[in-house]
Each structure stands twice: as structure tokens, then as C-alpha cells.
């Protein structure tokens, strides 16, 4: 009897053990990636580039939250390579940035990444060596959540965008350095001058041209690099990537902007999109008609096409020089109308950090309207009378007031703003930051030099952070370009004024002439890259190394050779 009882108890434990352990053992997965030379066919041109497992984009790596991944990366190129797992929280040695995380992967060598997956959502990976990423070295990561997600869908598609250029990344960099407007084919011409004179009067037009000429800057300078063909999942507009659905189904579209330089405005005419996730972190669902995706950002949206017809996924570049196009259709081969590109925007003096009344003396300290910290505290209890007109503000506080870049989805249509993003789940307890670090985003367009606080990467020391602190970064964009700033290894909590519900991102876009704040809980020891994700801005100096000192694994850091911090 006793024996039997003992046996039964034992078998019971074994059963429980298996029940519990099985899912874990089965998902400690191994992934293999090869880095290869590939031919990229955009439908407009064919170009040799770099891809993974023989293709660009590389595969969708499907992982599960809680698993320990092993990724073998074999370099079949004749130059060094690397893979950075964009947005993943992992030990810094696994982050894949040459000279910061490790040495990189030599030709012919296989490097094995091993790290636990501690998050879920949509992410991507790309080379962090030279210009391999613009040359095609990118892919996507989809991580299944352990818990049920706060939204429902029947189908799931990755929609990965890029701006494939007929020139190699190295050549683009060289051309930009030699002639910064090399690729800008939207400059103002005599024809524009004549038509502007007719509309605004000759005097005004001359004054306008003189004001820009005085600064030696161009209002049409929105896209540094034009002449690219936007691709969706590797397909050009004519090759038309198509995702199938059955009418009535909810489709989750995981938008990833893997472009080197291009922001896209995305819409699906005929469908509302419910944004449910940004940069891998769920946000409270918000229904929009259109959204802008900065370079390196991801947005997950849910759409529910009810009719038995095709819908166009239309992704027009922010400067309107090109569009990407895909289709959602009940059956293969169905197409929907492809909209025309909207008119190209022009920067205004507001984007230069000034308004028209005061064009000289760029006083950046006077940038009104951007103080997000003052926006909270809208005391609802005191709202008597309820002024409806002031409630529905069409102004996006993440653009300079009067900016030429402020997006607009059209009458009665909603364009997503950072302001709409509210965390679905807090990752950290909300608390006051321990200190603020000001980062002025600076540059010289004519020399094509991009920098932070006026210094290029190679001319400045690293930024040192203390493990356990909560740092508030103040980004002051003193340039006329938008900069998608990406911090590796730790989250950037974007201050939208929503307090504890501020959205949690890995990349935040700072529009020209604006100041924005992010906060970071410094919880990842080691050294990390921090940079503008526009490839040619990062390469020309808008880049910093961050060193996190202290913390549980501080012993690991002893091997890091880091210079003494500047006073």
C-alpha cells in the first residue's frame, strides 16, 4: 500500500514536471541565418545587395516570449558583418554593434547569439556594419506573447518597408558628402518662383527665397536621399505584395520601417486602422485613417475589411517623392485603385525653429508650444462650461507650430499623433527622473555633417549612466531634418504628457524645430549604441556610445575599455 502510494505520488510529480517543462524545452529554439550576397529586384531595377538566407528582406524570425534563443549567423560575405536585434532587450554582448557590443563577424565565420526573449511584439533585425542595412541586410522578428494579447485577429502579416536605392550605401554617403543636394530632385525652380509670385505676390516670394537663401537652406529639403523605390516585403509597387483575407476577418498588420532614410505616411483607402502596438509595446487601441512611420519604428494595426474586394496599402514617402504599394485582397491577383501621391510639403520657418516675424536670430529657447510637461494637469474637475471648440485640437504638438511637415489625413479623418499613443501596460513604476541630459541634435547640411551637441561620434566621449537611475533625455532638434533617435538595450518612455501611461518605444522621431523628452529606466548594464537611425546621419556622426556603470553584472564591465568621462 505504502509503496503504491509512494509510486502514485511520484508519478504525479513526474507528470506535473513534464506538463510544466514541456512547453519550455520545446521552445528553446535554434535559428540559423546566413549573410549572403543577393540580387534585389525592385521591378524598376535590379541591384546586387546583401540579404539573409539568400534573400532580402531576410526571413521572419518567429520567437516566443520566455524562450532562450540560439541564433547562428554565418558570414558568407568577403567583409565584416554584424546583426543587431532592433528593439530586443538582451545582454549587451548580444546586441550586435561592432566595437560596442563585440568585434563583429569576420568573413567565413559563424557567430552564435544566445539570449532569452523577455518581451513580445513586432521587431526587426539588421546589420550594424557600414552600409549593409541600406544594401538589403534586414529582416523581421515576431514574438508571440505568453499572455493573451489585448486585441484579437484572425490573420497576421508582417509589412516591412524599405527605400531601396539603385546606388550602394557607400556611394550614397560619398555623394552626399560631395554634394549634399545630390539626390534632391524636389528643389524649388523658376517655375515654382513664378507660380508662387502669382499666388503670394512677387515681393513676398522674393523675401521668402531670400530668407532661405540667407541661411543657405532649402525648404524642399525633406528627403536627403531620393530616387529610391519603396519596397513592401521586398516587392516594388508594380510587384504588388499581396496579403489574402476572408471578408470579415480581423487582420493584424505589423508595419516595420526598415528604410535607410525614408519616413512613410501609410493608409489603406476604405479601411480604418486600429493601432494596437508601437515599437513592440501594446498601446491602447486607437482608430486612425493614416499614420506616419519614422525610420526604424514599428506599428501594429488591426484592420477588418468586410467587403469582398481588394484594398491598397499605400505608403507614400514623407517628401512625396515615391510610394510603396501592397494589396489586401480576398483572392490573388485582385487589385484596388492606387492613389496619386499628395503634393510635396515644404519646410517652413517654424521648422527652422523660428516663426516668420522673427527670422533672424534663431532663438531656440523660445520654442513655444512644445513643453509637454505643462500639458498634463488639465484639471478635468474644473471644466465647467466645456468649451467644445478647444477640445478637439487639430494641432499635433510633436511638430513645430506652423511646421510644413505636420501631417493631415484630410477632412474628418484622423492622422495618428504620438499624442494618441498611450501604454496599454506600464513596464515600470512611474517615478520622477533622477536627472536630465540635454541632447541637441545638430548638423551642417552643406557639409553633410550630423552631430549631437555639435560633436560627431568620433570627437566626443561616451555618455555615462548609472545603473538604477531614471534619466530624462531632452532632445532639442536644431536641424531642419527629422531624426528618429534609437537607444539600444533600454526602453525610451516618450513623454506625451500622459504620465504613467506614456508610451514605451525604442525609436522616437524628433521633428525639426521641436524639443521632446524621453525617460529611460537604466536597467541594462554594459555599453550601448544611441543614434539617429537615418543611415547616413548615423554614419556621419549623429551617434553616441552609452555606458551603463554599476548594476548586477558590473563585473562584466571590467573588461570594457572605456575612457574617463569628461567633466
Partner 1 sequence: MKINFLIFFSIGVIVSALSISPSLAQQKGLLIYGLQLEELEFRRGDEGEELFAWNGDAFVGTDEVKLRWLGEGEYDNTTSKFEGLENRLVLQWPISPFFDMKAGFRVDTPNGPDRSYSVLGLSGLAPQWFEIDADFFVSEKGDTSARLDAEYELLITNRLILTPSAEINVAFSGDHEIGVGSGISDIEAGMRLSYDLIDRRLSPYFGVVYERKFGQTEDLAKAEGEDFEGWRAVVGTKFMF
Partner 2 sequence: MNILSKITAIAIASATITLGSSQAWSAGSHDGGHGAKKNIGIPGKASEAMQTIEIKMLDNYYEPESISVKQGETVRFIIKNDGEFVHEFNIGTAAMHTAHQEEMMTMFEHGVLEADKINHDMMKMDMGNGKTMEHNDPNSILLEPGKSGEIVWKFNKAGKIEFACNIPGHYDAGMMGKIKFKS
Contact segment (CB under 8 A) with partner 1 among 212-220, 234-242, 468-476, 510-518 equals 212-220
Q: Could you say whether residue 185 binds partner 1 (CB under 8 A)?
A: yes
Strand 526-532 relative to strand 483-487, pairing: antiparallel
Q: C-beta of 67: minimal distance to partner 2 in Å?
A: 13
Residue 556: contacted member of partner 1, partner 2, none (CB under 5 to 8 Å, by partner type): none
Three-state DSSP at 418 gives: helix
Instruction: Name the region of 83 (left: φ>0; alpha: ψ -120 to 50; beta: rest).
Output: beta
Q: Could you say whether residue 539 binds partner 1 (CB under 8 A)?
A: yes
Contact segment (CB under 8 A) with partner 1 among 9-17, 18-26, 178-186, 506-514 equals 178-186
Site string for partner 1, 113-132 (x = CB under 8 A): ----------------xxxx
Q: Output phi, psi for 314, to 5 deg.
A: -115, 120
Q: Could you say whether residue 191 binds partner 1 (CB under 8 A)?
A: yes
Residues that bind partner 2 (CB under 8 A): 16, 19-20, 24, 148, 150-153, 250, 272, 274, 276, 284-287, 302, 304, 378, 380-381, 383-386, 391-392, 422, 424-425, 501
Residue 80: contacted member of partner 1, partner 2, none (CB under 5 to 8 Å, by partner type): partner 1
* Sign (positive or negative) of CA dihedral 529, 532, 535, 538: negative
Residue 555: contacted member of partner 2, partner 1, none (CB under 5 to 8 Å, by partner type): none
Residue 99: contacted member of partner 1, partner 2, none (CB under 5 to 8 Å, by partner type): partner 1
Which runs of E-coded beta strand occur in 55-95? 60-64, 68-75, 84-86
Q: Could you say whether residue 170 binds partner 1 (CB under 8 A)?
A: yes
Largest Cα–Cα distance in the chain? 105
Residue 438: contacted member of partner 1, partner 2, none (CB under 5 to 8 Å, by partner type): none
Q: C-beta of 392: minimal distance to partner 2 in Å?
A: 7
Q: Could you say whether residue 210 binds partner 1 (CB under 8 A)?
A: yes
Cell for 403?
511646421
Residue 501: contacted member of partner 1, partner 2, none (CB under 5 to 8 Å, by partner type): partner 2
Closer residue to partner 2 in complex, CB, 360/382: 382
Helix (H) or strand (E) holding 509: strand 507-510
**Residue 2, Cβ neighbours under 10 Å: how many?**
6
Strand 298-303 relative to strand 273-278, pairing: antiparallel
Contact segment (CB under 8 A) with partner 1 among 332-340, 490-498, 537-545, 552-560 equals 537-545
Q: Could you say whether residue 373 binds partner 1 (CB under 8 A)?
A: no
Can you name the residues that pair with 498 across neighbouring β-strands? none
Closer residue to partner 2 in complex, CB, 301/516: 301
Query: With b meaning 16 or more CB within 10 Å and e meaning fewer, what string describes 515-550?
Result: bbbbbbbbbbbbbbbbbbbbbbbbbbbbbbbbbbbe
CA atoms within 13 A on the CB side of 6: 3
CA 484, CA 259: separation in Å to the nearest integer?
Answer: 11
**Residue 89, Cβ neighbours under 10 Å: how many?**
20
Edge-to-edge, what's the strand order for the sheet holding 273-278? Answer: 229-232, 155-164, 251-257, 298-303, 273-278, 281-288
Q: C-beta of 391: minimal distance to partner 2 in Å?
A: 5
Q: Could you say whether residue 393 binds partner 1 (CB under 8 A)?
A: no
**For the chain, what's the residue count?**
567
Q: Could you say whether residue 538 binds partner 1 (CB under 8 A)?
A: yes
Residues that bind partner 1 (CB under 8 A): 79-80, 98-99, 129-132, 170, 173-175, 177-179, 182, 185-191, 210, 213-216, 227, 444, 446-447, 449, 456, 458, 538-540, 543
Amino acid at each position: 500500500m505504502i509503496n503504491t502510494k509512494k509510486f502514485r505520488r511520484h508519478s504525479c510529480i513526474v507528470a506535473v514536471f513534464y506538463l510544466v517543462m514541456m512547453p519550455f524545452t520545446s521552445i528553446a529554439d535554434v535559428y540559423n541565418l546566413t549573410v549572403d550576397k543577393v540580387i534585389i529586384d525592385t521591378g524598376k531595377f535590379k541591384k546586387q545587395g546583401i540579404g539573409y538566407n539568400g534573400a532580402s528582406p531576410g526571413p521572419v524570425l518567429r520567437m516566443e516570449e520566455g524562450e532562450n534563443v540560439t541564433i547562428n549567423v554565418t558570414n558568407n560575405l568577403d567583409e565584416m558583418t554584424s546583426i543587431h536585434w532592433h528593439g530586443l532587450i538582451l545582454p549587451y554582448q548580444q546586441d550586435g554593434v561592432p566595437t560596442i557590443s563585440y568585434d563583429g563577424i569576420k568573413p567565413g565565420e559563424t557567430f552564435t547569439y544566445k539570449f532569452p526573449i523577455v518581451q513580445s511584439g513586432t521587431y526587426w533585425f539588421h546589420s550594424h556594419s557600414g552600409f549593409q542595412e541600406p544594401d538589403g541586410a534586414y529582416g523581421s522578428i515576431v514574438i508571440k506573447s505568453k499572455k493573451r494579447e489585448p486585441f484579437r485577429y484572425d490573420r497576421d502579416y508582417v509589412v516591412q518597408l524599405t527605400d531601396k536605392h539603385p546606388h550602394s550605401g557607400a556611394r550614397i554617403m560619398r555623394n552626399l558628402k560631395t554634394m549634399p543636394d545630390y539626390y534632391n530632385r524636389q528643389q524649388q525652380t523658376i517655375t515654382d518662383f513664378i507660380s508662387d509670385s502669382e499666388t503670394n505676390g512677387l515681393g513676398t516670394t522674393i523675401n521668402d527665397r531670400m530668407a532661405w537663401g540667407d541661411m543657405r537652406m532649402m525648404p524642399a529639403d525633406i528627403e536627403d536621399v531620393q530616387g529610391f523605390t519603396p519596397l513592401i516585403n521586398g516587392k516594388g509597387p508594380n510587384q504588388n505584395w499581396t496579403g489574402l483575407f476572408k471578408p470579415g476577418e480581423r487582420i493584424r498588420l505589423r508595419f516595420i520601417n526598415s528604410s535607410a532614410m525614408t519616413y512613410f505616411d501609410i493608409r489603406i483607402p476604405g479601411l480604418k486602422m486600429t493601432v494596437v502596438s508601437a515599437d513592440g509595446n501594446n498601446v491602447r487601441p486607437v482608430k486612425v485613417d493614416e499614420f506616419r512611420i519614422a525610420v526604424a519604428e514599428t506599428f501594429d494595426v488591426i484592420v477588418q475589411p468586410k467587403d469582398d474586394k481588394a484594398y491598397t496599402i499605400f505608403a507614400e514617402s514623407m517628401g512625396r517623392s515615391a510610394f510603396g504599394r501592397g494589396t489586401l485582397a480576398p483572392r490573388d491577383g485582385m487589385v484596388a485603385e492606387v492613389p496619386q501621391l499628395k503634393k510635396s510639403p515644404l519646410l517652413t520657418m517654424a521648422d527652422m525653429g523660428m516663426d516668420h516675424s522673427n527670422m533672424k536670430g534663431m532663438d531656440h529657447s523660445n520654442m513655444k508650444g512644445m513643453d509637454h510637461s505643462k500639458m498634463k494637469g488639465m484639471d478635468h474637475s474644473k471644466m465647467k462650461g466645456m468649451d467644445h471648440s478647444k477640445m478637439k485640437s487639430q494641432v499635433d504638438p510633436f511638430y513645430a507650430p506652423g511646421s510644413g511637415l505636420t501631417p493631415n489625413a484630410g477632412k474628418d479623418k484622423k492622422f495618428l499623433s504620438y499624442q494618441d499613443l498611450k501604454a496599454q501596460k506600464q513596464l515600470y513604476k512611474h517615478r520622477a527622473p533622477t536627472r536630465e541630459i540635454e541632447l541637441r541634435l545638430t548638423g551642417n547640411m552643406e557639409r553633410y555633417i550630423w552631430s549631437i551637441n555639435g560633436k560627431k561620434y568620433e570627437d566626443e566621449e561616451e555618455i555615462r549612466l548609472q545603473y538604477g537611475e531614471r534619466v530624462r533625455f531632452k532632445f532639442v532638434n536644431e536641424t531642419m531634418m527629422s531624426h528618429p533617435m534609437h537607444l539600444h538595450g533600454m526602453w525610451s518612455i516618450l513623454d506625451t504628457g500622459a504620465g504613467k501611461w506614456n508610451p514605451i518605444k525604442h525609436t522616437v522621431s524628433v521633428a525639426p524645430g521641436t524639443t521632446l523628452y524621453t525617460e529611460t529606466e537604466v536597467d541594462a548594464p554594459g555599453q550601448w549604441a544611441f543614434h539617429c537611425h537615418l543611415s547616413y546621419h548615423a554614419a556621419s556622426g549623429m551617434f553616441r556610445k552609452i555606458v551603463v556603470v554599476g548594476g548586477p553584472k558590473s563585473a562584466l564591465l571590467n573588461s570594457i575599455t572605456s575612457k574617463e568621462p569628461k567633466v
